Amino acid sequence: MAFLVGFLSQSQSGVAYIHFVGVDPSVRRQGVGKALYRRFFAEAFRRGARRVKCITSPGNTTSLGFHLGLGFELEPGDTTIDSGVWVHRDYDGPGLDRIVFTRQLGEGDQV
């Protein structure tokens, strides 16, 4: 039905990273993805993280809206697209640009 793969950063203290998320199309827009993120926020906070990072591809407007709706902010990159959306060129290798999101965690992220 859905999954989220995330971890605590080994190189950045207090940072958690959401690597990959998938939600079955038949249950999208029903709060499943949001619930997975909220659960991850709570667990990451409990384990000492105070910030979560994740990425998406430029042009993925669905992902952009989803993440902004959950309180993520765009991490400034080295160029912009689509009316000021920050992009990190070659983030995942040559020609693999990405949008980088960051979100602070706090007491309200506990389950």
Domains observed in the chain: 2-109 (3.40.630.30)
User: Which residues, 6+ apart, have CB-to-CB distance to 47 below 8 Å?
Assistant: 8, 16
The model carries a pTM of: 0.90
- Model confidence pLDDT, tens digit, residues 53-111: 999 999 899 999 999 999 999 999 999 988 789 999 999 999 999 999 999 999 888 76
Only one residue has tokens 């199309």, namely 25
pLDDT for the residue numbered 111: 61
User: Which residues, 6+ apart, have CB-to-CB distance to 5 below 8 Å?
Assistant: 18, 19, 20, 21
Structure-block tokens of residue 30: 């029903």
